[in-house]
């Protein structure tokens, strides 16, 4: 039972973290939230489809189809988060622009995040479906894991919503950048595993300091992509992902500040 | 002028490096196989050459899915029941690297020994 708590908690935690950030943004920007549940449902349906198709997917691309698809999902999610970050900045100073685009990017990000983590839970539960004796204990463990994961997500949501307005944007942009870096690192890891990227010895080993397997290690993995023994490809992907996001965010912030000043000078 | 030449030399070296990469990827890797039966890994200890990237093929002979997972190897892959999975691992420094089946972690355990 403990195994199922941990497996489900790990997957739910990763998805819940992102969902809570995006849902908090919906609330702050007063976007319609019915869409959110639609995207969530699409993600869940997608997970089931992915889980059922995993056999053929795994055999594609000389047996590394699973890695390629996972990496593609992670990079797509990174791209959605990057666009969301830039659109959030454009909507400061009381502006309301490209809200349709922002909404659809959020939908895609939510569906993508749910699919990525949901499929693993679905496959795990399917593995126990034929074993009636174990199933009830696995299911109750899964419920506990999901409960803990969503509680942590809810906590993050309320912290973000209750933050004083002037800090909300900064905190959300920082979180999105860190999660984005983690996604790039995971994508690189998948491509190394598929032998599509060159692999080398890990650059360092911090597993004695903080075990990836521990709860805090898992939390940091979900939040900033913590990896105890990263290879050069993973470190480069992380730095590129974070670097690109920081540069574009800084650029957008400067433009938005300049517009903000203009707005004050010409209040028409 | 000399600086210009040095720049060019650097560029060519980089370009050669990029060109050489796919060739390197095409090089044959040592292949090792592993089986999952009754939620156990056979063999449970796998000796691999150190400092070499190897191609690991894991056959899942059980009817249910399993996830090959190792924090030490940085690997994680779902293998559906009755299927095989290709996982590239290494290069590894000499040492022991535990792995386990995430869906049945109490029984499905093993380690890769790089030497």
* Tokens matching residue A103: 């909404």
Contact A234, A201 (CB under 8 A): no
Residue B70 has pLDDT above 60, yes or no: yes
The answer to whether the Cβ–Cβ distance between A3 and B87 falls below 8 Å is: no
From the candidates B28, B73, B80, which should be mutated to test the interface with A, based on the most A CB atoms within 10 A? B80
The answer to whether the Cβ–Cβ distance between A195 and B90 falls below 8 Å is: no
Contact A226, A212 (CB under 8 A): yes
The pLDDT assigned to A237 comes to 97
Residues of A with CB under 8 A from a CB of B: 3, 7, 54-55, 58-59, 62-64, 66-67, 120, 123-124, 126-128, 130-131, 189, 192-196, 198-202, 207, 211-213, 227-231
Residues in chain A closer than 8 A to B24 (CB atoms): 198
Chain pair A-B, CB pairs under 8 angstroms: 86
Q: What is the pLDDT of residues A190-245, one digit of tens each?
A: 999 999 999 889 999 998 899 888 878 888 888 888 999 999 999 999 999 999 99
Residue A262 has pLDDT above 60, yes or no: no
What is the percent of chain A where pLDDT is above 90? 61
Give the range of the structural domain holding residue A53, as residue numbers without chain letter: 2-263
Q: What is the pLDDT of residues A132-178, one digit of tens each?
A: 888 888 999 999 999 999 999 999 999 999 999 888 889 999 999 99
* Topology classification of domain B31-114: Immunoglobulin-like (2.60.40)
Q: Residue A268 domain-assigned?
A: no
The pLDDT assigned to B105 comes to 86
Question: The sheet that has B84-89: what strands, in order across it?
Answer: B40-42, B31-37, B54-60, B84-89
For residues B95-110, average pLDDT: 92
Residue A9, C-beta contacts closer than 8 angstroms, at least 6 positions apart: A145, A146, A148, A149, A218
- Searching chain A, which residue's CA lies closest to the CA of residue B64? A127
Confidence of residue B18 (pLDDT cuts 50, 70, 90): low
Phi and psi at A147, nearest 5°, equal -60, -45
- Comparison of pLDDT for A216 and B101, the residue scoring more: B101
Q: How far is Cα B56 from Cα B33, in angstroms, rounded to an integer?
A: 6
Residue A33 has pLDDT above 80, yes or no: no
Whole-angstrom CA distances from A201 to A102, A147, A240, B50, B51 are 40, 38, 20, 11, 8
- How do the domains of chain B map onto residue ranges? 31-114
- CB of B93 within 8 Å of a chain A CB? The answer is yes
The pLDDT assigned to B9 comes to 64
Residues in chain B closer than 8 A to A211 (CB atoms): 71
What is the percent of chain B where pLDDT is above 70? 77
ipTM: 0.83
The pLDDT assigned to B6 comes to 63
The answer to whether the Cβ–Cβ distance between A58 and B79 falls below 8 Å is: yes
The pLDDT assigned to A265 comes to 46
The answer to whether the Cβ–Cβ distance between B78 and A63 falls below 8 Å is: no
Handedness of CA A56, A60, A64, A68 (dihedral sign): negative
ω into residue B91 within 30 of 0, thus cis? yes
Confidence of residue A258 (pLDDT cuts 50, 70, 90): confident
Confidence of residue A91 (pLDDT cuts 50, 70, 90): confident
Q: Count up the domains in chain A and report the number.
A: 1
Confidence of residue A74 (pLDDT cuts 50, 70, 90): very high
Mean pLDDT estimate for chain B: 85
- Comparison of pLDDT for A128 and A243, the residue scoring more: A243
């Amino acid at each position: 039972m403990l195994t199922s708590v941990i497996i489900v908690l790990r997957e739910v935690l990763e998805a819940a973290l992102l969902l809570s950030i995006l849902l908090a943004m919906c609330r702050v920007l007063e976007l319609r939230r019915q869409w959110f549940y639609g995207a969530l449902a699409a993600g869940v349906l997608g997970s089931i489809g992915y889980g059922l198709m995993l056999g053929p997917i795994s055999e594609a691309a000389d047996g590394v189809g699973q890695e390629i698809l996972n990496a593609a999902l992670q990079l797509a999610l990174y791209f959605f988060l990057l666009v969301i970050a830039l659109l959030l900045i454009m909507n400061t100073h009381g502006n309301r622009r490209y809200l349709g685009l922002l909404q659809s990017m959020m939908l895609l990000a939510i569906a993508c995040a749910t699919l990525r983590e949901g499929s693993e839970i679905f496959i795990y539960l399917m593995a126990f479906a034929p074993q009636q004796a174990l199933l009830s204990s696995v299911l109750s463990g899964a419920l506990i894991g999901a409960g803990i994961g969503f509680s942590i997500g809810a906590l993050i949501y309320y912290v973000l919503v209750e933050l004083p307005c002037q800090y909300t944007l900064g905190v959300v942009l920082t979180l999105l950048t860190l999660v984005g870096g983690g996604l790039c690192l995971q994508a690189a890891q998948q491509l190394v595993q598929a032998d599509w990227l060159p692999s080398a010895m890990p650059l360092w080993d911090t597993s004695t300091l903080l075990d990836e397997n521990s709860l805090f290690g898992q939390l940091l993995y979900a939040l900033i992509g913590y990896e105890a023994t990263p290879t050069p490809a993973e470190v480069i992907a992380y730095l590129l992902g974070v670097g690109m996001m920081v540069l574009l965010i800084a650029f957008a912030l400067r433009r938005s500040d300049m517009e903000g000043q203009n707005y004050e000078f010409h209040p028409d | 002028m000399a600086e210009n030449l040095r720049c060019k030399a650097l560029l060519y070296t980089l370009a050669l490096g990029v060109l050489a990469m796919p060739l390197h990827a095409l090089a044959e890797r040592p292949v090792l196989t592993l089986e999952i039966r009754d939620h156990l890994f056979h063999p449970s200890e796998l000796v691999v050459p150190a400092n070499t990237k190897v191609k690991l093929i894991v056959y899942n002979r059980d009817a249910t899915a399993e996830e090959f997972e190792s924090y030490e190897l940085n690997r994680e892959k779902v293998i559906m029941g009755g299927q095989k999975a290709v996982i590239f691992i290494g290069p590894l420094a000499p040492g022991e690297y535990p792995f386990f089946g995430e869906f049945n972690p109490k029984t499905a355990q093993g380690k890769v020994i790089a030497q």
